[in-house]
Structure 1
Amino acid sequence: MDLALIALSARPLAASAARAGFAALSLDLFADLDTCAHAARCVRVHKKNGCAFDPDDLVQALTTLAPAGLPVVLGGGLEDDPDLMVRIAERNPILGNSPATVRVLKDPIALAALCGHLGIPFPKVSLEAPTSDTFRFAPVLEKKIGGAGGGHIRRRVAGDLAPPAPGHYLQAEVEGTSLSLLLLANGASAMMVGASRQWRATDAEHPFRYGGAAGPVVLPPAFAAAMCEGALNISRACGLVGLISMDFVVSGEAWHLVEVNPRLGATLDIFDVDPLPPLMGLHLAACGGRLPAGLPTPSEAHAAGVIYADRDLVVPDGVLPDHISDRPPAGAAVAKGSPLCTVRTSGPTVEIAEQRLATLIREVREKFGLLPAEAPAP
């Protein structure tokens, strides 16, 4: 094996690694059919507290299946536990950003201070109980520190002056379109891979849950230069390496950075495509200090959306269409609120790709007997 991949859902990483010609060990919470097809070996790790790693089981699996020194690439799902990252790195080097770097970037107070120093608009945050004027008249969100996927975010009831729950923080809500920049960094410099538009898959319990992304998109002309400069400045200031993403909320009047994700993420689904070279290869090269002279733009727009189960279900027999990824095996039990699969498509424009995706998602939901999806929320 060439490397180990660890993420809550490692399929995008495994697909990119296979495209780059790497034989990978995959450790995640699902071991779905697609991840198993892309990886040299695919292992399902025990869950803890709903949809999180059991740290001891993960470390045990890595120790048993991966030789000491085998490099590891991390995806989403470990940012809330830098100590677990440290345990991994003690035996298997992480090709990506260090636990210390992740700890700083996922500390909302530290990130707010960094953004203030660099002149980057960032919503006000607090670890304390708000006073009547802490956030003025802005709606307030409560988020888990290091949380991923948006399922942990809740909007506070107006006038709620209780402190955030342990391990959580408060952030002023800013309204607008959710955009994400994917960057490739080598510790001293960085370059843009592409921008995407994102949306939510909401239900009563998860109003801010990640729903999908489409791209490449053009950033708003009024803010494009400042947003790119801000992202590059954070990358350089923190010495970030490999593939990273930064999430923004943009309205007609302003833009705000809201999140830095110092690891590979879901937008591999829309950017790890021809004529771009395999992004896993670029990630590993960048971790070694090498950036390409330039990158081509995808010849088409791509869109990917996550379908969540709106009830407990058992996956029926039958062949699922090729545009479905993260396919669970027949007979698998999927709990209400859990991700069921990802639907992917493309088109000559982002708008057409999104329209095609909406149609495909509706068909897949009907196949599984799920309720019709709500319109994507920005």
Structure 2
Amino acid sequence: MVSPPITELTLRAREIFRRVVEDYLDSGQPVGSKTLAGRADLNLSPASIRSVLADLERLGLLAAPHTSAGRMPTETGLRLFVDGMMQVAEPSAQERAVIEAQLAAPGPIEQALEATSSILSDLSGAAGMVMVPHREVRVVQLNIVPLDPTRALVVLVDDAGHVENRLLDLPPGTGPAALQQASNYMNARLAGRTLREAVAAIEAEIRAGATALDEASRDLVERGLVTWSEDAARRRVLIVRGQANLLDESALSDIERVRSLLDDLENKQSIADLLDSAREANATRIFIGAENRLFALSGSSVIAAPYRDREGRVVGVLGVIGPTRLNYARVVPMVDFTARSLERSLGKRIG
């Protein structure tokens, strides 16, 4: 249902609607006319308030979950509030300090992304998410570290500072010399190329018999090609933290909705697809409930913002997911501030 323009509401209706939404987002409970009438600044009788609430319900902005239970905003009403009435509350100095301190900690980029997801979860009371989309990395360095006679650890470092570790099965009888030869060969062909380019070049050389590798080293390289080919086409990575925050006291009365939301989070590819739609946004995006088919059953909301590298290219999306009664006024600027802080952190790590 499309919400009516905010200008179609009278000043009285706007004020009562705003109070209902803000009280509901704060408490998670429907708001009744007696509660609103107790506000001295409204100066309206319960009967007058009930009349306005009924009008707002007919417009599809409010709903009564039970008889005489008060009103709560519909998803249509939440959209009208978020787009036309919400007054955002910037993160406090303490919250900003916490975000910046955790993202300033030294370490690999993966650590910063993990920290970002945890920060968003802790400060929003919802689940935090960070998506690292697929990109064509260029390899800077490769090392093969033997673990035991049958396995080795391949360590790749790319031009953005990412470190990736992969297990590689070793052919029987593989010795240190073969490992060293294979490592030198792969370093020479991987360095400065994307994984896709490097795999193609190595495959072409092996097919043409143009390598100086002995049989053991060539076998080792060929085994690695399967792993690298999979990496070159790998799916986006989605980091989710704080799912336990979704199981608060209010969830007990709507356990089916929460179970549906947790099922949505298990399907990370679908969530990643949703976040991917926020990559081209110039500002934080808000997805409310059934506006997205993914959340038609769980009635969840997502607040998401893209983050960029130091050249201004979008490299990922971060955000939070939770029930539709998220504190949008607080969480929206928090997500935006975290995205900007992560950009500064990544710029320092890469630079």
Q: Structure 1 length normalisation: TM-score?
A: 0.22
Larger helix share, 1 or 2: 2
Q: Which has the larger radius of gyration?
A: 2
Q: Structure 2 length normalisation: TM-score?
A: 0.23
Higher relative contact order (CA 8 A, sep 6+): 2
Larger strand share, 1 or 2: 1
